[in-house]
Amino acid sequence: MTERFFLYDDMEQTKTRFVSFMGEHQRYDLALMQTDRYYGKKLVLDIQGGRFAIIGQDDLEEPGYLEEVFKLSDEEAAELRDFLYEVI
């Protein structure tokens, strides 16, 4: 058996916020993880959809980003974007 080569293997304290809210178009169940690893961005996990992304203010302003990452319609992404602007 060959020795495993790690690029990194770090342990880090994180702050996680679990939030669930009902929008006009769907329910959102999210985990928002804050860590020092991602340069001020947050790891946003869509618990029901099984998708995640590292998101900062710049990502929220990128057209079509949330739609693509979380596989949302324009209306659903607008709801999520409005919420994320408040917490990121």
Among 54, 42, 38, CA closest to 15 = 42
pLDDT digits (tens, 9 = 90+) for 36-82: 899 999 999 999 999 999 999 999 999 999 999 999 999 999 999 99
When pLDDT is averaged across residues 17-34 and rounded to a whole number, the result is 96
- pLDDT band at 22, cuts 50/70/90? very high
Query: 68-81 burial string, b = 16+ CB within 10 Å, else e?
Result: ebbebeeebbbbbb
pTM: 0.89
Angstrom distance (rounded) from CA 43 to CA 12: 14
